[in-house]
Amino acid sequence: MREPLKLLDLFSGIGGFSLGLERTGGFKTVAFCEIEEFPRRVLAKHWPEVPCYHDVRELTAERLAADGIAVDAICGGFPCQDLSTSGTGLGLDGERSGLWHEYFRIICEVRPSYVIVENSPELLDGWLGDILGALASIGYNAEWDCIPAAAVGAPHRRDRFWLVAYPDGVGQPGSRGLDLVVHQTPLAFGEAAPLVASVQRDSVPFVCRRHDGVSARVAREQLHAAGNAVVPQIPELIGNAILAAERAHRTTSAEAA
């Protein structure tokens, strides 16, 4: 049985990405990178043996190698503030959302087998082409879709954009196409993907109302961290698709040999 894929979790927050991916049994987090203090304390509590780097702008493949950390997969949801219609509108040129360029730099340096990106669906409004072009320039294919939290049983909508990238294997035995997403062209903002078309996305749940179940008594830093977190069930779904593609790739490669 193959060893778990070694995961570098960027913009880690309170660890929703790692929690979901580790639930598959096929991923093991080897490093976090998170700048805010409260999420760093949460990560230290639940992953006490996993190092947590502070600033993505200072993290390099050389630093990881010096610390004895090898990486097979990178995940992360870079800040969305500049992509949002309620934000600056500067997109990937903004100070916060522009941290995508640091994410991409690390991808270039590490060259992982898989990259998983999460962000606001507003990324589709003019910015996706920049990300796909950057990945293509270093030989990575990508699949993407919008998956709401409601699609995995959460009592709220929370649309999010998800992308999986991997080295281009076109024409090679066992190409790693995931068959995970149903769209290969960008969705219009708010459009329901067929994967989740049956979900009642315009309804407001009776129990949670507009607060999504988070008590008003929760401390501000906890509320902020929870609001920024990904729903772990979606990375788990994506992780299982990656592992299935890995198994198919190994089988096809063995048959071709």
Domain range list for the chain: 5-256
Q: Please, what are the averages of pLDDT over each run of 10 residues along the chain (257 residues)?
A: 92 95 97 95 96 97 98 95 78 91 98 95 91 96 88 76 86 48 36 35 38 54 64 92 87 75
CA 257 to chain centroid, in Å, comes to 34
Give residue 183's pLDDT: 37
**Which positions are annotated as active-site residues?**
80
CA distance 205 to 147: 18
Name beta bridge partners: 7.
29, 73
Give residue 182's pLDDT: 34
Give residue 156's pLDDT: 67
Count of residues in the chain: 257
CA distance 174 to 92: 34
User: For 184, which DSSP code?
Assistant: S
pTM of the model as a whole: 0.80
Sign of CA dihedral 169, 174, 176, 180: positive
Give residue 97's pLDDT: 92
Give residue 253's pLDDT: 73
Give residue 201's pLDDT: 34
**Which fold, 5-256?**
Rossmann fold (3.40.50)
